[in-house]
Amino acid sequence: MANTRSLSNATALRDENVLRRVRHLGSARDGLQEWRLQRRTALALIPLGLYFVASMLRLATSDQMTAAAWLASPVPALLTILFVLALLAHAVVGMRSVLVDYVHTRARLVAAELLVRGAAVVLAGASVLAVLKLFLGR
Amino acid sequence: MERPLSPFMFPAWYRFQITSVLSILHRLTGIALTVGSILLAWWLVAVAAGGEVFASTHAFIASPIGVLLLFGWSIAFFYHLCSGIRHLAWDAGYGFEIRDAYRSGYAVLAATVVLTVLAWLYVLLA
């Protein structure tokens, strides 16, 4: 019986700690928005990802001219830009949920999130610029 | 109070099942694909830049390390795609019974292998 008591005490202690932690940090407030964004980008990435990977398989053994000509045509250019943007938005939300689970120091969490977001913005900008250059310059 | 937290439970106390392994794999492949997006952006920039940049990028992709990365990326992509569809089905409220979860789990693994093999057969035979 002593064992049961200590177990319930431990549970009570844990619950109290969790509550304190919740009160301290408060809610993230935009959790539902992120949840929706993750699902919406996931849905978009099913056709976009399959289209892009199928295109890459066709281009796998081709030279720069063929790849550039493909990216310069309207539909591939549009779908590639949409694919990259959906992919990076999905990646940012996904990486955030991983970081929140494993980075327990507030400062480190903020730093890691900024790094991921910054990298995603740079990659998105570079990709869109690259496709636009080919599309507009044909 | 110092109690073992979840990652340290694995070797001694935690018995692996396909459901938990697939869940962990979904995260790992997600992280791998995030890292892979650097290569994707790099390739797009290289195509736009052309010339020397594209030549060195192409040489890297065609090297043994490059092909190995692409192979890993393709497995991660097909796994995350199939597993993601399984997650979306759960979000819609389907497949929560243990038996269904196991079945869909094995289906995800089978689909990953089939799609990866088909993709690379296409590349090798083209």
Q: How many CB atoms lie within 10 A of CB B70?
A: 18
Instruction: Say what the ipTM of the complex is.
Output: 0.89
Spell out the CATH class of A29-136: mainly alpha
* Structural domain spans, chain B: 24-125
| Fold entry, domain B24-125 | 3 helical TM bundles of succinate and fumarate reductases (1.20.1300)
- Please list the pLDDT of chain B residue by residue as tens digits (126 residues): 566 666 666 666 677 788 889 999 999 999 999 999 999 999 999 999 988 999 999 999 999 999 999 999 999 999 999 999 999 999 999 999 999 999 999 999 999 999 999 999 999 987
Q: Is A46–B81 a contact, with Cβ atoms under 8 angstroms apart?
A: yes
Q: Is A80 on the interface with B (CB under 8 A)?
A: yes
Chain A residues within 8 A of B69 when measuring between CB atoms: none
Q: Which residue has the tokens 């431990």?
A: A10
Please state, in angstroms and rounded to a whole number, the distance separating the CA atoms of residues B102 and B52.
50
